Amino acid sequence: MGKIIAINKSKTISFRDDVIEYFEEVNSVSKKEGYQNIIDKIKNATSTVKIASTSMVDEQIIDAVHENKKINTYIILKNFDVSSKTVERFDERKVAIIREVGELENNFILIDNVAYLFVNPLEESKNISFYFDEVKASDLEFIFNYYFWNRAIKEKLVNDINTAIESPFPPFGLRTQKTINVIEAIKNEFKELYIPRDKKFDALLEKDTGQKYFSDDISVPLYLNDNNFIVGLFQINKEFSIEISSWELKENKLEDIDSSLEIILREESLSNPIKIEEHKNIELKDIVSPSIEEMDNQEPYEYSRDKYVKEVTYNWIVMPPKKPKNSKKSSLYQDHENFKNKRKKLEEERDIKKSSITEKKENISKLDKKDKEYQKNLKQLKKEIETLEKQLTKKENFSKPKHSLPSDGILYELDNKYFLEISNEKELAKAKDYIKKEKLEDKCKIVVL
């Protein structure tokens, strides 16, 4: 009969009906660009430059402002501490009136009579911008003046930072404008939502309205409706078209996703694009069977899930049971050896004593039976013979070990448990008979060499 060896097993599981959320690229064109056009216009400005920024301002823009000696410069920053490097660039050598407005959520620049609105903070080296001509720029001019005069907390003039001085004009509020308006908050009503590729915006994907996208082009969310779009707290007329690279959030069965298509799983939206695979082989860890009889039925506790694959074939090896590494050859072997040696020794002693008895009987027979000495010796010999016979028949002198030894295989033990090691199927039947005969069903396990 054959040797007991490991078994190669496999199982194929289909995940084709699993539904996943993922992003699919719908526009790869990026409209992000540097500030060269804005820089050129600042350098050629003849009157004023007004900057509103939620962050530091790119150094190229500041350099252009410094280079133009003819302009008056006004700056609104959301936070002086966050934008400290920008604040520090202006002093007596280049004077600007800089004001802090905590509620500022948008970035824009007015250059003489035209303006540019930016999607991302001005500290980024590339941005997406919208151009406002002389007519439309008046809306941003009004908003800038509103923030500058009515909402400022503190200001810097030359080298000093102080509380912002009061406006020389009567207080005025926001008004409804044709091109751009300031809103108080984002309502949960939109047709399309574009979020940055940043985990901190993932909560926006939970909103139950509108189609959702992410884009590498933006650092703040964009909300689009039929007639307008929102960036920061600016609601902008849809006459300004916006085009950004984008990935659309979709939900489908794996079966329905084209394997040639690059996608990004929603839960791993910071990862690189991947492709769904049709089939994959996964090698699992070996399994050691608890018994030889159960080897054919051994499966992993769980099958590791691969979210990128429609069908997976899992492969594993079932190993026959093995004895523990720190187990030792059973003490029964030494017990049986000790029993054998002891019995042999007792038998030798018995034979010597029997010879002694025979010899003494022969000596007695030579004496005169009427002699008192004869009677005395006879009585003494009888006692000695009686004592020897008792020693030779005492049970404890020949007590056997508690279990016999197996005819095949080697018996090991550890912590009062036995492990009968065999090497082939022929020895398996004998090993089972041995365990049953010795009533070791709960204490002995058959293992393989």
The pLDDT assigned to 190 comes to: 85
The pLDDT assigned to 389 comes to: 64
pLDDT along the chain (449 residues), means of 10: 86 93 91 94 97 97 95 96 95 92 97 96 95 94 94 92 84 84 84 90 84 93 90 88 89 94 83 90 93 91 86 95 90 87 77 71 59 65 67 64 88 90 87 89 88
Contact 278, 306 (CB under 8 A): no
Residue indicated by tokens 């949960």: 188
| Number of residues written out for the chain | 449
What six digits make up the tokens of 102?
A: 């905590």
Whole-number Å distance between alpha carbons of 186 and 203: 14
The pLDDT assigned to 428 comes to: 87
Using DSSP, state whether 48 is helix, strand or coil. Answer: strand
Please tell me the class of the 29-244 domain.
alpha beta
Instruction: Provide the 10 A C-beta neighbour count for residue 342.
Output: 13
Domain map (residue ranges) of the chain: 7-21+253-319, 29-244, 336-398
What six digits make up the tokens of 160?
A: 């000093």
Burial of 334 (0-12, 13-18, 19+ CB in 10 A): exposed
The pLDDT assigned to 73 comes to: 96
Residue indicated by tokens 């091109």: 179
Question: At a CB cut-off of 8 Å and minimum separation 6, what does 331 contact?
Answer: 413
Contact 73, 93 (CB under 8 A): no
